[in-house]
Amino acid sequence: MSRIHQRSYGVKAAPYGFLLPAVVLFALFFALPIGYALWLSLHRVEVKGLGLGKGAREEVWAGFSNYAAALTDAELGHGALRVLGYGAIVVPVMLGLALLFALLLDTERVRARSFSRLTIFLPYAIPGVVAALLWGFLYLPDVSPFHYALDAMGLPGPDLLDGGGLFVALANIAVWGGTGFNMIVIYTSLRSIPAEVYEAAKLDGATPLQIALRIKIPMVAPSLVLTFFFSVIATLQVFSEPTTLKPLTNGVSTTWSPLMKVYNDAFLGGNVYAASATAVVLALATFVLSFALLRASDSGSQQGGSR
Amino acid sequence: MSTLTTPARKAAPAAGTTPGTSQGPPRRIALLPTAVLVLGALYCLLPVAWVLVAATKSSTELFSTFTFLPGSGFGENLTDLNAYRDGIYWQWMANSGLYAGLGALLSTVVSAVSGYALAIYRFPGREAIFKVMLAGVLMPPVILAIPQYLLLAKVGLTDTYLSVLLPLVLSPYGVYLGRIYAAAAIPAELVEAGRMDGAGEWRIFLRIAVPMMSPGLVTIFLFQFVAIWNNFLLPFIMLGDDGKFPMTVGLFTLLKQGAGTPALYTLVVTGALLAIVPLIALFLVIQRFWSLDLLSGAVKS
């Protein structure tokens, strides 16, 4: 890349020209909104007189009061706990299944390989809203095949749309939608391991299970970290699935996840200042949590690799 | 450097085979692993199989007959869906196609030019620009959506097609993939040779770089297409007029109304089936053109 000798002004200016659209779009749709969100989060509206007419509503400096309100908001705290509980199911189950399927796809003498690979990846093409809608119907006692089977055996069906069942129900939608994509990432990384790596182990009489545990998993650790990182970020931002289930059940409140609360405050409650502060807090929490996890899993995988 | 060459190398083996195991006489099947994989596949097919069956049920059958027992109302459901608010369903479908198609196309162009510039040229600010854009990947959509809405409202663009299209054109992940593909696919010597022949930088990009990057560009296009087709939050926030809704927001509002009018549930189910048919069809047709390996391989490390 660096070998290109740049001679003329045209060549020197070219990369900036090529990057112009991206830089302009970044400034308009990323940098400017982020700056504006920070500005909003530090302001509030002051209503003068009766609050009528032009100039009656004035934006004034609020300091960190919006942040203080967001951090002490009990409903936000509950939402955060709900999402952490939800994530504690989704991330390990989804990545565990993705790793399992990827290892099985990479096993010798396995049949139905391309069928399974394509089918397990298929939910990636289905929007979260539609996925939640389909599963939402399947959770309804009058529709669900599980309820039908349990009924036939004379057992009571679990309520999947309220209480603890709701966590499982929502987690299932995320696992269903995300396993295939993560499986492909891990499988690709498995396929790039040269075959010679296994040969010595095979000569020593290692079983496929031993090869999977001792060689394959440590070697795909970087893609596990990556899928982990993206899964955590996506999980913390869950919005469309609980929003879609809401019409089917009273178990989902309008503030079930922190993101739903932000939406509610901004567009239904009309307080964009408080909502912006909450959004900034959530963004910071996401960064801190994902980097902490990244660091932890990074040192963990290094120890694993150095054995 | 190894990350730059892996996508090309990995694309080589045929899909579904493990190198080194395909030769020799056929041996016995690994039963347990195969069974587990097929179970996983059935789990992934379950809701799709259900919606196929459920769309044939009339509104009374939907909640009264066994889950996987076909009904008798498919034709009627289709007619009802077609008649609902003068066929607004098809408008949603067309809108989704427009947002995803045009959005992905523009996004691919931007990703291609910026990825190419970041991979091929050395210039002051290169790493800074790249890193700042990459940080955009981590930016939660929620922190962007509120101020994007308010800013677009100030210039009178909310509730327009542009308000859903424009914020999605720049995809940090697309730029990242564009850079990886350009670095892997375009030899520096070829760019230099183009310059020797007196071609301008733009011409070199169009005539030499674009053809060499094209498999990667197809992947970026499809990735963006799926991302925009599946998007919910942005159009949900930006749009008020249901004539501009994409499929996701349209189906959601239909489901919400269904809570009060259960007869609408059959429309929701039939609509959901029709909404996933195009993408499944797209998947089956393009799986040979779309290298999943490229999509995921490039992210590794």
Q: What is the pLDDT of residues B138-196, one digit of tens each?
A: 777 778 889 999 999 999 999 999 999 999 999 988 998 899 889 988 998 999 999 99
Residue B295: the pLDDT is: 55
Q: Report chain B residues whose CB lies below 8 A from the CB of A244.
A: 252, 255
Q: Report chain B residues whose CB lies below 8 A from the CB of A148.
A: 66-67
Residue B143: the pLDDT is: 80
Residues A115-160 pLDDT 10s: 999 899 999 989 999 999 999 999 988 888 888 888 888 888 788 8
- Which whole number is the average pLDDT over A159-187? 92
Q: Do B123 and A286 touch (CB under 8 A)?
A: no
| pLDDT > 80? residue A48 | no
- Three-class SS of residue A59? strand
Residues A87-100 pLDDT 10s: 999 999 999 999 99
Question: How close, in Å, is residue A47 to chain B by CA atoms?
Answer: 20
Q: How far is B297 from B301, CA to CA, in rounded Å? A: 9
Residue A59: the pLDDT is: 86
| pLDDT > 50? residue A194 | yes
Q: Report chain B residues whose CB lies below 8 A from the CB of A121.
A: 292
* pTM for this predicted structure: 0.88
Q: Report chain A residues whose CB lies below 8 A from the CB of B10.
A: 188, 191-192
Q: Do B183 and A1 touch (CB under 8 A)?
A: yes
Q: Report chain B residues whose CB lies below 8 A from the CB of A5.
A: 192
Between the alpha carbon of residue B80 and those of residues B77, B89, B108, B152, B243, the distances in Å are: 5, 11, 38, 36, 18
Q: How far is A7 from A3, CA to CA, in rounded Å? A: 12
Residue B47: the pLDDT is: 95
Runs of H (alpha helix) within A106-162 = 113-121, 128-139, 145-152
Helices B88-120 and B126-138, axial angle in degrees (round to 10)? 150
Q: Do A105 and B37 touch (CB under 8 A)?
A: yes
Give the residue from A25, A292, A171, A274 showing the smallest Cα distance to B111: A25
Helices B88-120 and B247-258, axial angle in degrees (round to 10)? 140
Which chain A residue has the Cα nearest residue B57? A143
- Which whole number is the average pLDDT over B42-68? 90
Residues A213-245 pLDDT 10s: 989 999 999 889 888 888 988 888 899 999 999
**pLDDT bracket for residue B5 (50, 70, 90):** very low
Question: What percent of chain A clears pLDDT 90, i.e. is strictly above it?
Answer: 51
Q: Do A18 and B144 touch (CB under 8 A)?
A: no
| pLDDT > 90? residue B93 | yes
Q: Report chain A residues whose CB lies below 8 A from the CB of B136.
A: 26, 30
Residue A177: the pLDDT is: 96
Between the alpha carbon of residue A170 and those of residues A85, A176, A244, B295, B300, the distances in Å are: 11, 10, 11, 27, 29
Question: How close, in Å, is residue B226 to chain A by CA atoms?
Answer: 6
Which chain B residue has the Cα nearest residue A129? B248
Give the residue from A2, A272, A97 showing the smallest Cα distance to B39: A97
| pLDDT > 50? residue B1 | no
| pLDDT > 50? residue A2 | no
Residues B221-231 pLDDT 10s: 988 998 999 99
What is the CATH class of B77-295? mainly alpha
Q: Do A101 and B200 touch (CB under 8 A)?
A: no
Which chain A residue has the Cα nearest residue B110? A22
When scoring A16, A20, A26, A184 by the number of chain B Cβ atoms within 10 A, the one with the most, hence best to mutate, is A26
When scoring B4, B48, B107, B121 by the number of chain A Cβ atoms within 10 A, the one with the most, hence best to mutate, is B121
| pLDDT > 90? residue A79 | yes
- Which whole number is the average pLDDT over B284-299? 59
Residue whose token pair is 């609980």: A242
Out of A15-29, A140-154, A178-192, B238-252, pick the least confident. Answer: A140-154
Q: Do A112 and B146 touch (CB under 8 A)?
A: no
Give the residue from B226, B145, B132, B116 showing the smallest Cα distance to A34: B145
Residue B62: the pLDDT is: 85
- Which whole number is the average pLDDT over B195-199? 90
Residue spans per domain, chain A: 73-270
**pLDDT bracket for residue A250 (50, 70, 90):** confident
Closest partner residue to B29 (CB to CB) among A109, A143, A246 is A109
Closest partner residue to A15 (CB to CB) among B13, B121, B282 is B121
What DSSP designation does A248 have?
A: G
The CATH number fitting domain A73-270, selected from 1.10.645.10, 1.10.3720.10, 1.10.287.3510, 3.90.220.20:
1.10.3720.10
Q: Do B283 and A114 touch (CB under 8 A)?
A: no
Residue spans per domain, chain B: 77-295
Q: How far is A279 from A281, CA to CA, in rounded Å? A: 5
Q: Is A188 on the interface with B (CB under 8 A)?
A: yes
Question: How close, in Å, is residue A50 to chain B by CA atoms?
Answer: 25
Residue A51: the pLDDT is: 62
Name the most confidently modeled range: A251-260, B26-35, B135-144.
A251-260
Residue B20: the pLDDT is: 45
| pLDDT > 60? residue B24 | no
